[in-house]
């Protein structure tokens, strides 16, 4: 009897040992999967930065990714959506397939079409593994926030969503980015980021009559040639000498993406948010790849004028006799201490005006807007820029702003067109209404 009991105990003991061993083996086997999951979430967090998701889906003083940011469109104002994993008001009920469809095709889980203010024509190029990483991050790495989405301010019948199915049929090009033969890894990585998650084309490519981007890659003549957008003009990113990146080196471009300023220009408008929340946090390999790709683009757009060459002589004469020039009077009183009599500023702290691509651009929207309303703070590695452009809407009249901008656009051999007081008045009214 004793032997039987001992044998039974030994069997039970062996079973416990076997079970413990099995559990241990299962835990050991699970560790790489857990590590891979953590790595995937971390990668998704980085890709969300590359895609600048926070800039649109986080409202001022709002909770991360809870939506509510107002965006002006030609049809009316819309509000960005909650993309936290809250199951009721966010995307917590989305499967990975639902998430991928929303990203790449602009269709929500319940089947309604998203407005193409969501840059899904660009996100259509994002590869499967990156979509999976983003999904893992938004489901497991983002704090859920219960905040209902706000309806758009677009009136009927323009608020109907079904026409967007037709829009997609005509303008949406499906398919992830495929590396181009004959191009190196850095070029292809840069092209993938610019065309896909970076969605640079959403702002920097002009749109057609259907509000569609006129080109979705470098094969189109309009690709990244600059576009008017919500009171600003998003710059030409091709190799155009005057208004584009023709005089910038790859190092200049990398510096701009990392800090928002270089010897040629400073960030303003929506680009300030892009630098603050996205490009400064990108790794050097990706920043350099973007610079490589953009610098490979041939010159497109511009006005076909002669290449800019610095010449300060006529401007020096005007500044020495400001009483004869209304614009020179305003410049000496309000602008010269930062931007200099020579127009070269003190880059990168104070932007140059001589030869600045934004000054040379035919569309003066950005110059008018930034003079009226100033710039948001560039915050690099937690440190705000010490001297942001101040707002002069309450200081200078429409005519004074028109005069000084006309002076700047003609000065130092810039040879850009004059600005009228009516243009300033229109921008003043528009930006006041948008606040």
Element (H, E) at 328: helix 326-334
- Ligand-binding annotation for 338, yes or no, is yes
2-50 vs 128-140: helix crossing angle, rounded to 10? 110
**Angle made by CA atoms 233, 238, 243, in degrees to the nearest 5:** 50
The whole-angstrom separation of Cα 123 and Cα 397 is 43
How many other CB atoms sit within 10 Å of the CB of residue 283?
Answer: 10
Burial of 292 (0-12, 13-18, 19+ CB in 10 A): buried
Residue with tokens 């998203």, as numbered in its chain = 114
Q: What does the DSSP 8-state code read for residue 238?
A: S
HSE-up of residue 254 (Cα within 13 Å, Cβ side): 14
Residue 153's nearest CA partner among 66, 53, 71, 65 is 71
**Angle made by CA atoms 305, 310, 311, in degrees to the nearest 5:** 105
HSE-up of residue 374 (Cα within 13 Å, Cβ side): 13
Burial of 418 (0-12, 13-18, 19+ CB in 10 A): middle
Query: Between β-strands 227-229 and 232-234, what pairing exists: parallel, antiparallel or unpaired?
Result: antiparallel
Is the preceding omega at residue 348 within 30 degrees of 0, hence cis? yes
Residue 248's nearest CA partner among 305, 311, 308 is 308
How many Å separate Cα 224 from the centre of its chain?
13
How many Å separate Cα 157 from the centre of its chain?
30
Maximal C-alpha separation, the chain: 121
Q: Which residues contact 397 (CB under 8 A, 6 or more apart)?
A: 421
The whole-angstrom separation of Cα 203 and Cα 100 is 23
- Ligand-binding annotation for 27, yes or no, is no
418 contacts 409 by C-beta, under 8 angstroms: yes
- Ligand-binding annotation for 57, yes or no, is yes
65 contacts 145 by C-beta, under 8 angstroms: yes
Where are the extended beta strands (E) located within 74-218?
Answer: 76-79
Q: Annotated binding residues, as ranges?
A: 53, 56-57, 200, 203-204, 335, 338-339
- Residue numbers belonging to the annotated binding site for heme c: 53, 56-57, 200, 203-204, 335, 338-339
């Amino acid at each position: 009897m004793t032997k039987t009991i001992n044998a039974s105990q030994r069997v039970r003991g062996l079973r416990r040992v076997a079970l413990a061993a099995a559990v241990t083996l299962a835990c050991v086997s699970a560790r790489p999967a857990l590590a891979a999951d953590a790595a995937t979430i971390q990668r998704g967090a980085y890709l969300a930065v590359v895609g600048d998701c926070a800039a649109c889906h986080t409202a001022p003083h709002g909770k991360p990714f809870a939506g509510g940011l107002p965006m002006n469109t030609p049809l009316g104002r819309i509000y960005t959506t909650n993309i936290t994993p809250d199951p009721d008001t966010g995307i917590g009920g989305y499967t990975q397939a639902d998430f991928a469809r929303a990203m790449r095709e602009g269709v929500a889980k319940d089947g309604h079409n998203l407005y193409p203010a969501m840059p899904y024509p660009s996100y259509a190029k994002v590869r499967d593994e990156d979509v999976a990483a983003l999904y893992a991050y938004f489901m497991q790495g983002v704090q859920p926030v219960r905040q209902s989405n706000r309806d758009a301010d677009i009136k009927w019948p323009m608020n109907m969503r079904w026409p967007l199915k037709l829009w997609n049929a005509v303008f949406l090009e499906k398919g992830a980015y495929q590396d181009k033969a004959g191009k190196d890894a850095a070029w292809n990585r840069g092209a993938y980021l610019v065309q896909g998650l970076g969605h640079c084309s959403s702002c920097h490519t002009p749109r057609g009559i259907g509000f569609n981007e006129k080109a979705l890659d470098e094969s189109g003549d309009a690709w990244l040639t600059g576009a008017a957008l919500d009171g600003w003009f998003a710059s030409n990113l091709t190799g155009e000498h005057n208004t584009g990146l023709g005089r910038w080196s790859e190092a200049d471009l990398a510096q701009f993406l990392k800090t928002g300023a270089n010897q040629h220009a400073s960030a303003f408008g929506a680009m300030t948010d892009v630098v603050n929340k996205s490009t400064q946090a990108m790794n050097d390999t990706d920043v350099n790849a973007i610079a490589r790709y953009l610098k490979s683009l041939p010159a497109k757009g511009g006005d076909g004028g002669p290449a800019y060459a610095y010449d300060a002589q006529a401007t020096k004469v005007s500044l020495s006799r400001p009483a004869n020039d209304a614009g020179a009077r305003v410049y000496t009183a309000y602008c010269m201490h930062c931007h200099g009599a020579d127009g070269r500023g003190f880059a990168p702290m104070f932007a140059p005006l001589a030869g600045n691509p934004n000054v040379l651009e035919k569309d003066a929207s950005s110059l008018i807007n930034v003079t009226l309303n100033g710039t948001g703070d560039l915050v690099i590695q937690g440190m705000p820029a010490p001297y942001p452009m101040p707002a002069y809407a309450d200081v200078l009249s429409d005519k004074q702003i028109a005069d000084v901008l006309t002076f700047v656009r003609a000065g130092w051999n810039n040879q850009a067109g004059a600005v009228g007081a009516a243009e300033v008045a229109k921008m003043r009214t528009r930006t006041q209404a948008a606040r």
